[in-house]
Structure 1
Amino acid sequence: MDTCDIKLNSDSKQSNGIYQISLKGQIGGKTSDDIPVANNSNKYIVNEDPRIFEPPDKKKARWRSIRIMYLTMFLSSVTFTITMASLWPYLELVDREASADFFGWIVAGYSIGQLVASPLFGFWSNRFDTTRWPLLLSIGINIIANIMYAYIESFPDTRQYYLLLARGLVGFGAGNVAVVRSYVAGATTNEERTGVMANVSICQSVGFILGPAFQAALVPLGYPGPISKLEFHLDLYTAPAFLSAIAGFINILLLVTLFKETRVTELTTLSVQGGDSESMNANCENKPDYFAVICSIMIFFVVLFIFTIFETIGSPLTMDMYGWSKKKATLYQGIILVGAGCEAIVVSLLLKKIAKR
């Protein structure tokens, strides 16, 4: 069987045993694409991408970490939407003089918190080359914010401002979305990246669906709920926040015990015997398409701008137009959001298939 030698220059770097290289030339009459796969765990194997040499244990750890990122994105979306349908009724409960104007600020609090946190967590992750610690801090803030949200009724006065602060902190914790996407992009090969990023979007869409679904499922708890002792209240308004906090603890446990940062490092200085590293470097030079990036950002902005209608005027409008009670508005709005999320999943699956063509 023909073999090949891989030469590493002195300035080559290893990233957890994973190499992304550009193979060029022939080996014993065969092209680089015909290099056989070694299944022995003591040898490097060729991944689905023929340019990736990766030990089996490293590949397993890499994909386990990517799947944890799927879960993190899913839980972030659940935390965002699980209280969306009940937010306006809850505000009216804690502050009977609350106005729609102040409700708008509470809704904006989440977005403002995320706007501030996203670049901070992104800078932290890039500057110190870490993903775990920004995620742990952001999820910890999210847990504290949800517990605070659940205990709003226990505050003696100015409850509406504590509610505003809680939603702002929940949004601040959601700033880890940029870190998740950045890590997933760096932990995948070019061939894997489109499918994995599509899966991240699907997990986000599923979170959008199941968040309101969980809220609708908790409506039978009613108000004041089965437990209403001292400062602790468990009802249809607080149960979603407690559920989000429990999910956050589980996420932190997985990040601490199972998550291992693994990135695919592009080594353009690697060469196969008989290849030309300079020509390989020239082939690997890709200039970013800034116009496409700006268009993608604008499309994402428009989609989220339209989505805010459910978060802002959805519940107040249905209560005014149809005369629904707080309980009915929470239930029916949750069902509407589930339908919108199902549609988003279908679109994501279609885009994933189109991207493969």
Structure 2
Amino acid sequence: MGGDTTETEDKTPDGSSGQSFTDPAEPMLPTPSETTAWKSIYMAGACSFIQATQFAIFFASMWPYILTLKPDVKQGSFGVVVALYSVSQCICSVGFGWWSNRIGQVRLPLIVGFLIMACGNLTYLSLQYWPSHHLYVMMAARFIAGGGTGNMSLLRAYASTASTMKDRSRAIACVSGGIAMGTMIGPGLQLLFAPLGADGINVLGLAISIYSSPALFCLILNGLGLLIVKFAFEEKYIIKHENDVKHDEENGEKTAKKLGNPDFIAILLCVFTRFLQIFLNTTTESIGSAYLMMMFSYEKEEAVTVNAGIHTVSGSIAATMFICFIFTKIREYVKIRTFTLISLIMPLTWLIATYPYNFYSGSVKIMVNGSHADCDLNKYSWCADQKTINQYVYIIGYILVFGVAFTFMNITVTTLFSKVVGPRPQGTYQGIYQTAGSFGRMFAPIIMSYTYTLYGPSVPWLILIVSFIFLILAWIVLRERMVPFGEYEPSKIDHSN
């Protein structure tokens, strides 16, 4: 560059010679590209959809399944089962990112990840054969499967480095949209297995029931993912060279322009934003049904129906927005920092509007006659003074937050994070970003369920309100730093021979 047109040797993301790209003996190595690799990015979106679907499909049936196998199991033990998935994902996402950067590709780690997921699903399918260890085998199954999904961060990283700066937000939206739609559709797929019932059918000694069939279905998804990666995923990269050599005509010195480190503060803010987003999302998932039953006097079945309806509406809105963002030019009008701020203000507004202030006149009803609706004063002493809120404000606000605000957040923050990291291999950085979400998914059920049990919804809401106020102020104060790599401060230049 800089007038030197004789250099023809391309570099892979790990800096190796580009000559190996055409070596038929090494078909899994990535290839360079000057344009966005849309085909492989769409395939990455399909893989992210498969991973998110296999994560979400189990939640409707796991608790009834373990109760069937081990009737004396307690909710606390089941909470460990749920948490272990995220623990494993946290550990493995950084490991997958490091490995991907080390070997200069994402394809092999993706294949290994799908194989690990398949092992986890096989373990889950074998639960029926462990009569004395059902709970521990389920823990092992979810831990193994969670480790396999640690490579999900590589899909975001690939979308970042396989797209031009102009196409970056659209490319990342393909992967984020796959995750969002998989999470939305996954629980609904459980309905496909309802006709099997609890007893199911016996095939070669294997009982395939409403509880075990999701694992079998996920094995099929794992196989589909492997086929996509093996035969349809052509790994290509658009990435800036680490060294740009120029000739100084006055003194003959050569100056190597090296990429400096990305802005740590900007990265930290993006990571904390992701943590708080997943923290809020997991909080509503953890106490959502119990909250509806306590606050609005819903019976169990009614609470499940309302909750499912809310998620269906918000999920449909999110899917529509992702599709519009990916396939129309509406993305050109999305200003990343502005829409990020709006997407943070919306949940704060919802939390403030649904806080049960003491000056409200209405109080929750106390549970009587063995009903599961209303507030159980025998369990929670705060029921006596708990104020009610408007259920329409809660439901409409919920749909706007998780259908609109979080969709924008998934697009804008993820896109900005990749731009802040800059034109370099992003596997490790995206692993850290995903780990932040996994930490949010781990800590939210523990912290918020504990505070909800002791103090009711007021304290969990206060924790979230204070956190979002702090986060919004940080985005306002640090606005000038939340820009693509190299725009806040110039890249470091190493003057050497």
Name the TM tier (shorter chain): 0.7 to 0.9
How far did residue 251 of structure 1 move?
0.9
Q: What amino acid does structure 2 have at the position aligned with 1:354?
A: V
Partner of 1:68: 43
Asked if the contact 2:33–2:236 (Cα under 8 Å) also holds between the matched residues in 1, the reply is no
Q: Deviations over 1:120-163 (max 9, x none)?
A: 11110011112111111111110121122123122221101101
- Displacement after TM superposition at 1:336 (Å): 4.8
Q: Which letter maps to 1:193?
A: R
Q: How far apart, CA to CA, are the structure 2 residues paired with 1:330 and 1:230?
A: 35
Helix, strand or coil for the counterpart of 1:191?
coil
Aligned to 2:208: 234
Residue of structure 1 equivalent to 2:315: 341
SS in 2 for 1:120: helix
Match of 1:185 in 2: 160
Q: Aligned partners of 1:121 and 1:197: how far apart in 2?
A: 19
- Structure 1 length-normalised TM: 0.73
* Residue 98 of structure 1 pairs with residue 95 of structure 2: no
- Rounded Cα–Cα distance in structure 2 between residues aligned with 1:307 and 1:285: 36
The reply on whether 1:13 has 2:10 as its aligned counterpart is yes
Q: Whose RCO is larger (CA < 8 A, sep 6+)?
A: 1
Compute the displacement of 1:189 (Å): 1.1
5+ residue gaps, structure 2, are 14-31, 247-252, 339-497
The letter of the residue matching 2:39 is R
Query: Pairwise mapping of residues 1-357 of structure 1 onto structure 2 (< 5 A)?
Result: 7-10=4-7, 13-14=10-11, 62-225=37-200, 227-228=201-202, 231-267=205-241, 269=244, 288-309=262-283, 312-313=286-287, 324=300, 335-345=309-319, 352=331, 353-355=333-335
Asked if the contact 1:118–1:178 (Cα under 8 Å) also holds between the matched residues in 2, the reply is yes
Query: Structure 1 residues 285 and 255 mapped into 2: Cα distance closer, same or farther (>3 Å)?
Result: closer
1:249-280: per-residue Cα shift (whole Å, max 9, x none)? 01101211222221113257499xxxxxx9x9
Gaps of 5+ in 1: 1-5, 17-52, 272-277
Distance (whole Å) between structure 1 residues aligned to residue 284 and residue 192 of structure 2 = 19
- Partner SS for 2:227: helix
* Partner SS, residue 233 of structure 1: strand
Q: CA deviation at 1:345?
A: 3.6
Contact 1:66 1:184 in 2 (8 A): yes
Matched residues in 1 for 2:287 and 2:64: separation? 12
For 2:186, what is the secondary structure of its paired residue?
A: helix
Letter in 1 for 2:96: F
Relative to 1, partners in 2 of residues 1:149 and 1:313: Cα closer, same or farther, differing over 3 Å? Answer: farther
Out of 62-71 and 339-348, give the one that drifted further.
Answer: 339-348
Aligned-partner residue type, residue 111 of structure 2: L
- Is contact 1:218–1:239 with CA below 8 Å preserved after alignment? yes
**Superposed CA RMSD:** 3.5
TM-score, normalised relative to structure 2: 0.53
Secondary structure in structure 2 of the residue aligned to 1:228: strand
> Kindly tell me: are residues 163 and 235 of structure 1, through their superposed partners in 2, closer, same or farther at Cα, counting changes over 3 Å?
same
Shift of 1:204: 1.1
Aligned residues: 302
Closer/same/farther in 2, CA of residues 339 and 151 from structure 1, 3 Å limit: farther
Counterpart Cα distance in 1 of 2:306 and 2:194: 10
Question: Which digits, 9 at most, give the CA deviation of each residue in 1:270-292, with x for residues without a partner?
Answer: 99xxxxxx9x997x967633322
Change (3 A) 1:214 1:332: farther
